[in-house]
Amino acid sequence: MRVRLMSAAPLVAVAAAFSLLASACAGGGAAGSGTDHLRVGIVGADLSNVDPAGGFALQVDSYVLEFLMKLSPQGKVEPNLAESVDRPDPATYVYHLRHGVKFSDGTEMTSADVANSLDYARNPKFPDSSKYSAVKSVEARDQYTVAVTLKAPDVSWEYTSATAGYIFQKKHQQEHPADFGKPGVGVVGTGPYVLKSLDPTTGAEFTANSGYWGGKVSIPTVSLTMFADETSEALAFRAGQVDVAFPAYARGFESSADTKLVSAPGTKQGMFTMNVQVAPWNDVHVRRAVAYALNREEIIKVAGGGAAPDYTIIPPAQLQSIASKSDVDALIASLPSYKSDLDKAKQELAQSAHPQGFDATLETYNYGSFVTTSQAIAGQLAKIGIKLKVKVDSVAEFTKTMSQPHTTVPIQYTFFNNSTPDPGAMPQLALHSDSAAIGLNNFSDYKNAKVDDLIKQGASTADPAQRFSVYSQLLKIVGDDVPVVPLYAGDNHLAISDAFTWPTFNTYSTDHTPYILEIKAK
């Protein structure tokens, strides 16, 4: 996704859970407000709407709403609001709901709420509806049974049920057709917390859900505080005004906050996208020139470190879920890697319709290291005659472009969060023709019938060898076409005050919903 805070999705590395040592975060949050109140910092979110499908404040939703299934801290799909699931045929999933699960207003959750929530998530006008593109129908069979029928077998669906489609109260949503999710209305869910107040400019306040089906919540109140940038968030952490933060720019945050971050291999994949429908980016030789001109190691340094160079849109860790490391290494060695080479970049540009280079605008916004990284990209491309003017928007301004044609922002530095081990997730998210629709995540407007067919083939079989063969073919095609340039696989970073601990923090932690329950008072 184009940095949505957050979901989603959705690049995976295998990481073991590890303990946080008290010394790991010394220096932050020392003047905390006590362990009965957790203060979480957030940068760059749009809190004007917490509608789980139509808004961009999914971190708020993760405290209040839950999915049918859930990801364990180790990335495994487990029961959640559904206590079990049957598969009478390869394209049908029958979910058996827990009895007695209550919404925060005391009413019971039933299949009617679940079916309505899933159908709501499928609405094409919403940003993450592409995750539900495989769904043919959703049926409430009885009070505690919901059947989801897919258009065709799709092995990624089990992860979708654990990472997309928050369940909310049908009655509340239908009573507020125009302002569902807005301040003063919010959402009603089954999660561990209740949204008590929401201010688009400052943040949100939560209190524990006394009737939470998962048991008593250990931290009674939570504040989610908005910051304009990571520097101000880091200074607040240093002053003891924030207990938990998730920095994107690790090195800068550590310096400003005077703290040591805890890091784990993450689900973030940095990329440079080019819209193939717009000149000059519709010229494959221009795109290849860009790919050769970009220096990943330098970009990682500017972006704050905590990442490894990445050369394929399906990260190696995901490919290793269906093939051996040696087979994955051999595949990657056979693909166009576009390792930094200015001579090759100039040769490609010479074959293009713009051999002398050209001027263009690179639009970005003030979040984490986006501005400095975009400036670094502009500096690297200037070496081959591509002169980019970096235009910096506010988060609110840039968010508006997400509901406009992708040609509005023809090139951008961005990152995707893809929080499952499924190697088919990124191709569907960023390359499928259907995902080129407004509000979805194929920012390159890349449309290739052969790639679409390979994505379909990869989703239709659970056989690892067949899937590896399919995705090998796909990566060769995309490597030649270069609609996106993978830059790095980034780590997850955590700053946590001395008053709290997060013993299971790892690769999947912030995608494990509700992750807030993993944080404990010391």
Alpha-carbon distance of 168 to 160, in angstroms, equals 17
Q: How many CB atoms lie within 10 A of CB 255?
A: 12
**Residues near 301 by Cβ (< 8 Å), separated by ≥ 6?**
none
Residue 396: CATH number of its domain? 3.10.105.10
Q: What letter does residue 107 receive in the DSSP assignment?
A: P
CB crowding 391-416: b at 16 or more within 10 Å, else e = eebebeebbebbeebbeebbbbbbbb
CB crowding 437-448: b at 16 or more within 10 Å, else e = bebbbbbbbbbb
**Residues near 426 by Cβ (< 8 Å), separated by ≥ 6?**
10, 11, 269, 313, 314, 315, 318, 416, 418
pLDDT for position 397: 83
pLDDT for position 109: 99
Residue 446 lies inside a defined structural domain of this protein: yes
Q: What letter does residue 517 receive in the DSSP assignment?
A: G
Would you call 235 helix, strand, or coil by DSSP?
Answer: helix
Q: Is 469 buried (19+), middle (13-18) or exposed (0-12) by CB count in 10 A?
A: middle
In this structure, are residues 413 and 426 in contact, taking their beta carbons and an 8 Å threshold? no
Q: Is 24 buried (19+), middle (13-18) or exposed (0-12) by CB count in 10 A?
A: middle
Cα 111–chain centre separation: 28
Residue 205 lies inside a defined structural domain of this protein: no
Alpha-carbon distance of 424 to 44, in angstroms, equals 29
What's the N-to-C CA distance of the chain in angstroms? 35
Which neighbouring-strand residues pair with 344?
none
Q: pTM above the 0.85 mark? A: no
Residue 322 lies inside a defined structural domain of this protein: yes
In this structure, are residues 157 and 93 in contact, taking their beta carbons and an 8 Å threshold? yes
Q: What is the DSSP string of 298-319?
A: HHHHHTTS-EEE--SSS-HHHH
Map tokens 């999933």 to a residue: 93
Full residue range of the structural domain in which residue 432 is found: 266-490
Question: Can you list the alpha helix ranges (DSSP code H) found in 351-420?
Answer: 370-382, 395-401
Residue 13 lies inside a defined structural domain of this protein: no
Across the chain, which has 522 residues, the per-10-residue mean pLDDT values are: 32 29 38 78 84 77 95 83 97 98 98 98 81 93 98 91 94 96 94 95 95 96 91 93 89 86 83 98 99 96 85 88 94 93 98 98 87 96 98 84 91 85 90 90 96 95 96 98 94 92 84 83 92
Residue 399 lies inside a defined structural domain of this protein: yes
In this structure, are residues 45 and 5 in contact, taking their beta carbons and an 8 Å threshold? yes
In this structure, are residues 17 and 11 in contact, taking their beta carbons and an 8 Å threshold? no
Conformation bin of residue 98: beta by default, left when phi > 0, alpha when psi is -120 to 50: beta
Alpha-carbon distance of 208 to 323, in angstroms, equals 44
Residue 127 lies inside a defined structural domain of this protein: no
pLDDT for position 277: 98
Residue 437 lies inside a defined structural domain of this protein: yes
pLDDT for position 56: 62
**Residues near 204 by Cβ (< 8 Å), separated by ≥ 6?**
47, 50, 60, 195, 197, 198, 223, 224
Alpha-carbon distance of 421 to 424, in angstroms, equals 9
Residue 436: C-alpha distances to residues 275, 335, 402 (Å): 10, 25, 12
pLDDT for position 244: 96
Please count the structural domains in the chain.
1
Handedness of CA 399, 404, 409, 414 (dihedral sign): positive
Residue 19 lies inside a defined structural domain of this protein: no
